[in-house]
Amino acid sequence: MNKVISHSLFTDFDIDLFKAGKHFRLYEKLGAHLISVDGVDGVYFAVWAPTAHSVSVIGEFNFWTSGEHQLEVRWDSSGIWEGFIPHVKKGTTYKYRIQSNNNGVITEKADPFAFYCEKPPHTASVIWDLDYKWGDEKWMKTRQNHNGLDKPYSVYEVHLGSWKRHSSENRFLTYVEFAEDLVNYVKETGFTHVEFMPIMEYPYDPSWGYQLVGYFAPTSRFGNPQEFMFLVDKLHEAGIGVVLDWVPSHFPDDAHGLGFFDGSNLFEHPDRRKGYHPDWKSLVFNYGRNEVRSFLISNALFWLQYYHADALRVDAVASMLYLDYSRNDGEWEPNIYGGRENLDTISFLKEFNEAVYSNFEGVQTIAEESTSYPMVSRPTSIGGLGFGMKWMMGWMHDTLDYFKRDTVYRKYHQNDLTFSMNYAFSENFMLPLSHDEVVYGKKSIAERMPGDEWQKFANLRLLYGYMFTHPGTKLLFMGCEFGQSREWNFEGSLDWHLLQYPFHEGVKKLITDLNNLYKTQPALYEKQFSQEGFEWINYSDHQNAVISFIRKGNKPKESVIVVCNFTEVVRTNYRVGIPKKGKLTEIFNSDAKMYGGSGVSNIKKIAIQAMPYDGRDYSAELVLAPLSVSVFKI
């Protein structure tokens, strides 16, 4: 039996950085690494377990027996155990058997830094490498042109386990199959980015991936690490960016996971008021512990470095920011200033964002943050958290509340629509219609719309048209782009058969054209986060439930005029104020027949008259189709 040989990949500087919480490439040191020592191939193992009495590597190479391959603890009080085991090969399964100094507690844990894991419900780590020959050099050199804040950013949110399955056996597609089917579909529908709900390894399918155990391993449900790299590669070759959901907010207490790792509260906060999440019954990271900060920030940089991710969407930021989040009185403790903000989290998030943006060009971080916490997407240098974008949850809630109302009542609730413009430029907002809006009895987006079938789909097209012309980037959950009728079910495929029906096919055509409109009209993206890019024409026509506004780009001639009619009444001779003379051309109309609409539209060239209206010197008479968005250029 091959014994453990003393060996280390750590320098004294590595250890100093780790202890200080500043080592952001721990994945190069901790974990299992295929190397050669004195000409002998094998695996170097290193694991952080500071309260351990002993640590053994157990696996198929030693028949899962403890004591045969014990690691040595470093002399420097880092709590790192390490050693080299000869002749262990790629593909070998293993775990760490840890006997704690705390009352002799014994845990058997998956490797927190494993690059690959067994397919659930199996729980072992797998020895693997990250070798891959990338073909996306062109994308990586120019991705700032795709990912910049002044670029079109339209995201298709995908849950890989339920986007599409093999119909005969309800089997998952593989990463390689997604690299053809998903890539072609996203390219066809015109989205600029795909966002993957968590693809890091997770044990429990109903968690949708938001309860992670393998932070450095793409889930083996769909293939191995190189096959996921292949999927990212093909997306990039098709000109499509990749956003990964990242979950530093909590983790499950599964026996093989991070919880109680070495018999102590190693990764989780030891105070239950800060270390346990009551909503999700999961554990919360100790953001004030230096080594935990190094683990998390290293994990973020890992996915950007080895998997060429273009953005990280950070889940549940609000739950991290507030000590009293989802807790009753007496279940939380104020910070040192008597406030409810988690100061360790705030410091951690700032450092995370600084590390991402200082190490990688052309990437973004996106916060799913549901409160009014200030300056989430503002630079840390001026006191912000440093994210590139933030989800605009208020817009989502207000807009869906408005659209569910029967059209006869909408004139009383126009403020629901217009209120978002009061704060639209306080952050760099992304408009989300995400997976959370189509589950747990909320109904699908399509089924929330009022009226008969024609009105439901007209309202849906109107909603999407309003979304794509409203300032901010866009996110749409899979299935919404063709008007999925039922709620999302993670256990089965989307209802692709619906595309045989004209209304559903029409919505897909609409989304394709909206994506094209967004990408080809600079007024819709160049100043999407600036007050200079938006101007109301009229937000006060409550009686007719009509709003009109101007979107502006860097050049005045690129401006577009948007008019929305939120009732089914066709409005002829509807006068709208125009900022200058010339002619109007309708370039988009959500009521077009090819989308399933009634086909009411304007003539190709509309004369602008020198007649003051809406506070402007010029105006034009338009035809407003029922339940529609119309976009015009001068």
As annotated, the active-site residues are 315, 368
591: nearest Cα among 573, 610, 564, 616: 564
Q: Where are the beta strands (DSSP E) in 291-446?
A: 311-314, 364-367, 389-391, 429-433
The first and second tokens of residue 526, run together, are 């160049």
Residue 166, φ and ψ in degrees, nearest 5: -70, 120
- Bridge-based pairing state of the strands 473-477 and 154-158: parallel
Kindly give the interhelix angle for 290-306 and 12-20, rounded to the nearest 10 degrees: 110
Q: In angstroms, rounded to a whole number, what is the distance separating the alpha carbons of residues 290 and 296? A: 10
| Integer Cα distance of 507 and 503 in angstroms | 6
Q: Are strands 193-196 and 200-201 parallel, antiparallel or unpaired?
A: unpaired
Q: Are strands 534-541 and 546-551 parallel, antiparallel or unpaired?
A: antiparallel
Tokens, residue 101:
């100094």
Single-letter code of the amino acid located at 59: G
- Cα torsion 199, 204, 208, 212 to 10°: value is -50
User: Is residue 46 within 8 Å of 57, Cβ to Cβ?
Assistant: no
Helix (H, G, I), strand (E, B) or coil at 506: helix
User: Which tokens hold the place of 145?
Assistant: 């042109």
Is residue 397 within a helix (H) or strand (E), and if so which, with residue range? helix 393-403
State the DSSP string of 371-382: S--TTTTS-GGG
Q: Closest Cα partner for 241 from 232, 252, 253, 251?
A: 232
Q: Which residues contact 587 (CB under 8 A, 6 or more apart)?
A: 517, 521, 560, 631, 632, 633
| Helix ranges (DSSP H) in 3-136 | 12-20
What's the half-sphere exposure (Cβ side, CA atoms, 13 Å) at 195? 27
DSSP 421-446: GGTTTTTTEEEEE-GGGGSTTS--HH
Long-range CB contacts (< 8 A, 24+ apart) of 58-64?
58/94, 58/95, 58/96, 58/97, 58/108, 59/88, 59/92, 59/93, 59/94, 59/95, 59/124, 60/92, 60/93, 60/94, 61/85, 61/87, 61/88, 61/92, 61/94, 62/1
Alpha carbon of 266 to those of 81, 213, 287, 319: distances in Å?
15, 14, 11, 20
Are the beta carbons of 23 and 294 closer than 8 angstroms?
yes
Helices (H), 100-203: 137-142, 144-147, 160-163, 175-189
Residue 455, both tokens: 């009105």
Phi, psi of 529 (to 5 degrees): -115, 15
Classify residue 94 by burial, with Cβ atoms within 10 Å: 0-12, 13-18, 19+: buried
